[in-house]
């Protein structure tokens, strides 16, 4: 029976690994895909074969899927897309769905439709890009893309929340003689208010400095590169490929991938708070060697596995002191 996410706290972003293998699936690892769940909105990064099955197994609600970001067009990152789009069609979806990726994405989708003799009853919005920059922007967050270094045109992505308003100081407001009620709300919205005695109070008199949002970066497939470091700059979480251990460095260079040590070096150089490794070569039945290699350089590292879930909390302070906001959700725990 399919499980579903319980009502999610707005203070958390859920990160769900749907596939952690590279190249080909294994008995325990699906092909690359990561879902982020933010305030009930689902973002999907890459869509390897079998992603729709993993979404069902994870309990992430496909009906809330709004955006799919494709890093590049190697088969292990896109072969799950036709099936997922068809399943959304069969479920009578009506909500628009946005796809983001390198040039050729629209042509690929039209080819799928011709070969499958189908059309979609929901609106499919396709955004192709080959330059770096923001590919999605709202009042609450944006998603930026930067070119990575792989064998074909490849992009990494970062979901970045806008700064939040500072904390409202109720005690200070009371000392200034501001009556509770509508005036509190006006100040919190950044509006100056006039008190019954004629005095004006500015928002900055009762509201602290703005508080940072979160930054989650996704870098795969790639060699370590400056643009990957910039995507991860100050990130609360960096999701980075670790296809090989460092004894296979030359093979990593040849294939355009990174070792676990190199992923840790990117996290360290970028000043990221946390690192999660993924995209493991099928030759590794166990990921402990990759995890140990990365932790030797960057201790706050986890190794993902299929259906692993992590929560990224909101910073508690004003952002001047870095916090470790990421925690792994135990298997069988409450689904956020």
- Return the active site residues: 76
SS3 of residue 263 by DSSP: helix
- Please state, in angstroms and rounded to a whole number, the distance separating the CA atoms of residues 10 and 105: 32
Q: What is the DSSP letter of 179?
A: P
Any residues with CB less than 8 A from the CB of 166 and at least 6 apart, and which?
207, 208, 209, 210, 211, 318
Residues 275/240, Cβ–Cβ less than 8 Å: yes
Residue 62 dihedral angles phi and psi, to the nearest 5°:
-65, -25
Q: What is the DSSP letter of 300?
A: S
What does each C-alpha distance from 175 to 2, 169, 170, 249 come to in angstroms? 54, 10, 9, 63
In this structure, the strands spanning 65-69 and 97-101 are parallel
Sign of CA dihedral 282, 246, 219, 40: positive
Q: Is 326 in contact with 273 (CB distance < 8 Å)?
A: yes
**DSSP per-residue string spanning 119-161:** --SS-EEEEE--S-EEEEE-SSEEEEEEE-BSSS--EEEEEEE
What does each C-alpha distance from 87 to 77, 93, 293 come to in angstroms? 18, 9, 40
């Amino acid at each position: 029976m399919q499980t579903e996410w319980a009502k999610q706290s707005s203070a958390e972003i859920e990160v769900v690994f749907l596939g952690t293998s590279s190249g080909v699936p294994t008995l325990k690892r699906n092909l690359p895909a990561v879902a982020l769940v933010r305030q009930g909105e689902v973002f999907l990064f890459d869509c390897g074969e079998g992603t729709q099955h993993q979404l069902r197994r994870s309990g992430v609600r496909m009906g809330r899927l709004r955006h799919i970001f494709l890093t590049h067009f190697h088969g292990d990152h896109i072969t799950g897309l036709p099936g997922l789009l068809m399943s959304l069609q069969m479920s009578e979806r009506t909500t628009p769905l946005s796809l983001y990726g390198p040039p050729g994405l629209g042509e690929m989708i039209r080819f799928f439709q011709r070969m499958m003799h189908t059309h979609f009853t929901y609106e499919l919005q396709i955004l192709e890009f080959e330059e770096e920059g923001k590919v999605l922007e709202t009042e609450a967050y944006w998603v930026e893309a930067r070119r990575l270094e792989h064998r074909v045109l490849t992009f990494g992505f970062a979901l970045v929340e806008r700064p939040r308003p500072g904390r409202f100081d109720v005690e200070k407001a009371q000392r200034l003689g501001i009556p509770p009620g509508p005036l509190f709300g006006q100040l919190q919205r950044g509006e100056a208010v006039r008190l019954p005695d004629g005095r004006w109070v500015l928002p900055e008199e009762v509201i602290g400095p703005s508080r940072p949002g979160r930054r989650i970066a996704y870098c795969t497939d790639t060699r370590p590169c400056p643009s990957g470091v910039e995507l991860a700059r100050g990130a609360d979480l960096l999701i980075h490929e670790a296809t090989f251990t460092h004894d296979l460095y030359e093979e990593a260079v040849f294939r355009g991938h990174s070792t676990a040590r190199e992923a840790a070096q990117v996290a360290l150089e970028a000043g990221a708070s946390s690192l999660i490794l993924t995209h493991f070569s099928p030759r590794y039945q166990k990921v402990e060697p990759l995890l140990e290699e990365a932790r030797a350089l960057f201790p706050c590292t986890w190794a993902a596995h299929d259906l692993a879930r992590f929560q990224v909390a909101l910073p508690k302070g004003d952002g001047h002191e870095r916090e470790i906001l990421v925690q792994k959700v135990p298997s069988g725990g409450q689904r956020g």
